[in-house]
Chain A
Amino acid sequence: MPIDIDAAVISNTRLSHDYSVLALAAPEIASLAEPGQFVMIKPSRGVDPLLRRPFSIFEILRDSGGTPTGISLLNKRIGIGTSLLYDAAPGNHLGCLGPLGRPFEPVTPPAEAWMVAGGVGLAPFVTLAEALRSTGTSARLFYGARTASELTHVELFEGLNVEPVLATEDGSRGAHGYVTAPLEAALSTTPRSTDVRVYACGPTPMMRAVAKLAGAYGRRCDVSLEQVMGCGLGGCYSCVVLTRTAGGPPHFVRSCIDGPVFDATQILWDALAH
């Protein structure tokens, strides 16, 4: 059951001219959250912008005793709402509704977990990496961005025993090009006997390419989709994704309650890449 709190901004750490990490005091939501779930954030008190925005829960913040105290969000400034959040100051309060959505299903050993993130698509993977570490699951993070300065929080994942595999489009760090190249290299050299689950989040073309590769190598791939969302609770039917149905025509499902995590083979990628 989701709750709505008026969450105080603890800190807002700017990572670059358009990325920031916003820490929010939200102990109730932090203790309920499961890997890959999201919250709906009201970036201002007024009516413009009117609606909340969906954000993956990036980190679960804990006190020294390990008790959840809040959550952080990985914010990329792209519109009115995300600009307001980029400028949010400690002490500001933001409406925070959650946790919401169908979480990731973490695999357990001997299966391996391969996370594939593009840019701000890193957001849902910290909570997944924590869940994987608690069961000792071998995990990798294939992480791509335009340039080295956008590859943030690599050491956080290393601290969670996740092996990073990096790529930048300008070649400033890791492999030169898209993250799908090192992913394919790994898929092609890993024996079939090793059980691998791929998890992907990032730009739609990236997720589509990852889904295709995973399928080609016979690996299950779960994607976390980011759609325009009105309510986050299944009320408005705006965040729909066209999915395959058994023996029937394709069907629009709500990514807020049936997702945001989907088995990639369910998705009609042509319809998503409008």
Chain B
Amino acid sequence: MDLSVSLGSLRLVNPLIAASGCFGYGVEYADVVDLSLLGGVAVKGLFLSEREGHPPPRIVETPAGMLNAIGLQGIGVHRFVREKLPELRDRRAVVFVNICGTTIDEYCEIARILSDHDGVAAIELNISCPNIKQGGITFGCSLTGTHDVVSAVRKVTSLPVIPKLTPNVTDVSSFARAAAEAGADAVSLVNTFLAMAIDVHTRRPKLTNIVGGLSGPAIRPIAVRMVYECRQAVKIPIIGMGGIATADDVLEFMIAGATAVQIGTANFVDPFLWRKVLDDLRSYMAAHHLETLATLTGSLDTSRQATAWISS
């Protein structure tokens, strides 16, 4: 049984990637899961320098989901390559480094630094974090911004470049197209949905940052639809995410058009889920006589929908 998938030249042992912002720098989870068993590990978003992020409360639960406004607290790229990358390399993790900048130059500088170090498999461009005021999502909410940051980073690194798209736009697929035209090797989607929760007794926002990003099962059907739309728009591989917690969820995203997936919020609830999901994927493959999981990608059958009205 072959669970491997390919993101351009990058081959993953299976389609499961730990989502950025939900898995620390990966090393925090080394006691819980063998990192080399995962398709990949997307580490917490990195700026050039250290950042403290927002004051707590940084998360709040909502029905079947959670809002977060962490504000990209992080150790910066220099400390990352010094303090975290060697252990990730030793543990044979396939490392997707999520990077964020306030300017295109900052993205390029981080990408250059990462390109000089062994153990980085790909660069995920964070142009979609809803919780910071400057940079990031400013690029991700403008077609020219997306194009410009992707093509600039593309020029300074030979590593795969994967912009992570925001769902907080009218038409995500046009952003996938802009990224593909600028030379992206793949796109990942979706980041969180900008959202808000209020304590009615105090009339105060439940998050210090007032607004935050919604993740978890609540967003899954919207994310599946967006992956499906992007599949129609671009040829490059799509990494799908949004509320994935089970093998069925993984399969749903793959059938909609994802080559690989990321699991985020569900890892908070069950950090041991990885092995379970892989086992369940194998059971599905056995039940459906599938030798190669990758053949599922984009295999959505809409023929019945097309004929339903005609035949009635």
**Which residues of chain A have a CB within 8 Å of any CB of chain B?**
1-2, 4, 42, 47-52, 80, 95, 97, 227-228, 230-231, 233-242, 249, 251-252, 257, 271, 274
Contact = CB atoms under 8 A, between A and B. Distances in A.
A271 B271 CA distance: 30
A24 B101 CA distance: 47
5 contacts: A50-B65, A233-B24, A234-B24, A236-B268, A241-B56
Contacts of A80: 61
A235 B27 CA distance: 9
A236 B22 contact: yes
A60 B57 CA distance: 31
Interface string B187-222: 000000000000000000000100000001100000
Nearest to B216: A50
Contacts of B59: 228, 230, 236, 238
Interface stretch (B66-74, B81-89, B108-116): B66-74
B56 A238 contact: yes
B56 to A, nearest CB: 6
Contacts of B44: 237
The 9 nearest A-B residue pairs measured at CB = A234-B28, A231-B268, A238-B59, A47-B64, A238-B58, A1-B31, A235-B24, A47-B217, A230-B268
A227 B60 CA distance: 12
Contacts of A234: 24, 28
Contacts of A236: 21-22, 24, 59, 68, 70, 268
Contact of B272 (A4, A52, A257): A4
B-side interface size class = 35 or more
Contacts of A251: 52
A237 to B, nearest CB: 5
B32 A2 contact: yes
Contacts of A274: 55-57, 208
Contacts of A97: 271
B interface, over-half SS: loop
Interface of B: 21-24, 28-29, 31-32, 44, 52-53, 55-61, 63-66, 68, 70, 73, 208, 216-217, 245, 265, 267-272
B28 A240 contact: no
B2 to A, nearest CB: 29
Contacts, number: 99
Contact of A237 (B57, B66, B70): B70
B66 A4 contact: no
B271 A238 contact: no
A269 B268 CA distance: 28
A interface, over-half SS: loop
B64 A50 contact: yes
Contacts of B60: 228
Contact of B73 (A42, A240, A241): A240
Given A4-B272, A237-B73, 16 more contacts: A4-B271, A47-B64, A48-B64, A50-B265, A228-B60, A230-B66, A231-B271, A233-B29, A233-B271, A235-B24, A238-B56, A238-B57, A239-B56, A251-B52, A271-B55, A274-B208
Contacts of B24: 233-237
Contacts of B73: 237, 240, 252
A51 B269 contact: yes
A48 B269 CA distance: 12
A37 B43 CA distance: 27
A252 B74 CA distance: 10
Contacts of A231: 22, 267-268, 271
A206 B59 CA distance: 24
Contacts of A238: 56-59, 68, 70
A252 B217 contact: no
Nearest to A257: B28
A5 to B, nearest CB: 10
Contacts of B272: 4
Given A48-B64, A234-B24, A227 B269 contact: no
Contacts of A235: 22-24, 28-29, 267-268, 271
B22 A50 contact: no
Contacts of A50: 61, 64-66, 216-217, 265, 269
Given A252-B73, A257-B28, A274-B55, A49 B61 contact: yes
B32, B63, B65 pick with most chain A CB within 10 angstroms: B32
A240 B271 CA distance: 20
Nearest to A79: B61
Contacts of B271: 4, 97, 231, 233, 235
A251 B52 CA distance: 7
B52, B208, B269 pick with most chain A CB within 10 angstroms: B269
B66 A228 contact: no
A4 B269 CA distance: 11
Nearest to B52: A252
A2 B59 CA distance: 23
